[in-house]
Chain A
Amino acid sequence: QKEVEQNSGPLSVPEGAIASLNCTYSDRGSQSFFWYRQYSGKSPELIMFIYSNGDKEDGRFTAQLNKASQYVSLLIRDSQPSDSATYLCAVNPFGAGGTSYGKLTFGQGTILTVHP
């Protein structure tokens, strides 16, 4: 079982729709969760982070975290063609010594295509 799992897609949604991206993780001790957007040939760009159970909204983006279910999601409202990219879920797990210094474990990414 991979530590962080995402559906690789591609996920195709029409312009203006809500895109829902999902991620599950295996390390129950994980405490911080990140969504990165990566355009083809570019580096990952941080778009959302969430540390507490529940929802966190930032503009058209909402991150949702459920630690009991070990599940984190990203909703993109009013999707635009410019949102077409790979979305990477990343998790900060605790190290073996019980300390966390921010090493991120990434999923393989979900390819999102927003069509006009």
Chain B
Amino acid sequence: GAGVSQSPRYKVAKRGQDVALRCDPISGHVSLFWYQQALGQGPEFLTYFQNEAQLDKSGLPSDRFFAERPEGSVSTLKIQRTQQEDSAVYLCASSSLTQGYEQYFGPGTRLTVT
């Protein structure tokens, strides 16, 4: 079946612009995660949804970051007033189990803030 999809694959934003990154998880997957991956580093957790409920947003780096999953399927990560330090690859992962043991990643969105 179809895997996790993300769009856009690449985004260039000028500093101060708002961006919205979309994630379409594997159909039926309850759990959805957002991670941020800087160059040469492992992914770092941002936030977690179980269906439409955002159960953990402890990894969001600032209040400029906001995520939603209103109908329990597609999720959007929004970054307001982008800064250069926001440049990274944003990865979405989904899992069919409530405890999300086995997570499958989408291709990611590479964000470059100039």
Contacts and interface: CB of A to CB of B under 8 A. Distances in A.
Is chain B found bound to chain A in the same assembly?
Answer: yes
Interface of A: 4, 32, 34, 36, 42-46, 49, 51, 88, 90, 92, 95, 100-109
Interface magnitude class on chain B: 20 to 34
Contacts of B67: none
Contact of B99 (A88, A100, A108): A100
The 9 closest A-B pairs by CB, nearest first: A102-B100, A106-B42, A43-B105, A43-B108, A44-B105, A32-B101, A108-B42, A103-B45, A43-B107
Interface in B60-114: 89, 91, 95, 97-108
Nearest to B6: A43
Task: Kindly name the residue among A88, A92, A102, A106 whose own CB sees the greatest number of chain B CB atoms within 10 A.
Answer: A102
Contact of B55 (A34, A42, A101, A106): A101
Nearest to A95: B56
A51 B99 CA distance: 13
B103 A46 contact: yes
